[in-house]
Amino acid sequence: MIAEALLQAGARVIITSRNNAALAAAEMRAMGDCDGIDADLSSPASAVALADAVKARVETLNILVNNAGRTWGAPLDAYPDEAWDAVMPINVQVPFTLVRDLLPVLEAAGTASDPARILNIGSIAGNSVHRLSAYAYTASKAALHHLTRELASDLARRHVAANIIVPGWFPTDMTAEVRADADKTAATLKKIPFSRFGTAAEIGAVAVFLASPAAAYITGAEIPVDGGISGCR
């Protein structure tokens, strides 16, 4: 959703996926200049390799979107230790590693009046309790929210802004189980003041705004895009 919005806004976009990134990029070229790199971001080492591949293709990087993520749900009494090892690296450490290793090309793109942008993708589960029984996931998103603030503080003088987009319920693979069940869907919609899921255009527009000159004076911000869940409680 975000990649398509950035393409439609005129950005050159490099997308990543565990597999078939080149095929997806070819399909998206109808919207603009798009390239793809296969990268399984389940470990920091894979993030280092991705950063190296990106730096081999570009000398400057205006926008970095950290969106790869994983969840793991189970009852508290049965929640496995392996869930933490599976979730925390991809949701917290990998975004940090990508920022660290792509910092040279981000700094090369940023200026005092138009900094380079880091857009981390958080979750409403990272700033309030939603009883999801996804303990590693919710803790990881809370960590990513705070990591974004830390990065924003450290990078401001280096002409790099860092903000976090906080989505609510959108039609993604992660919400497919809920959307496939009428009762679960109805229960979820009751929690959303706007009583509907978000759309691709709505999440994409926020990313384009944060990457645009209109947001050049914004850093360290959490931007909820959740139909009112965060602000109407």
In the chain, % helix, strand, coil (3-state, to 5) comes to 50, 15, 35
Mean pLDDT of 37-65: 96
Please report which confidence band the pLDDT of residue 202 belongs to, taking 50, 70 and 90 as the band edges: very high
Enter the tokens of residue 9. 């806004």
Give the single-character DSSP code of 133. Answer: S
Enter the tokens of residue 115. 């900094």
Strand ordering across the sheet containing 222-225: 63-66, 116-121, 160-167, 222-225
Q: Is 137 a catalytic residue?
A: yes
pLDDT at 203: 94
Kindly report, residue by residue over 119-175, the tens digit of the pLDDT. Answer: 999 999 888 888 888 999 999 999 999 999 999 999 999 999 999 999 988 888 878
User: Do residues 213 and 114 lie in contact, with contact meaning Cβ atoms separated by under 8 Å?
Assistant: yes
Mean pLDDT of 206-217: 98
**Domains of the chain, with CATH numbers?**
61-225 (3.40.50.720)
Kindly report, residue by residue over 213-232, the tens digit of the pLDDT. Answer: 999 999 999 999 999 998 88
Q: SS3 of 63, please? A: strand
Helix segments in 37-93, DSSP class H? 44-57, 81-88
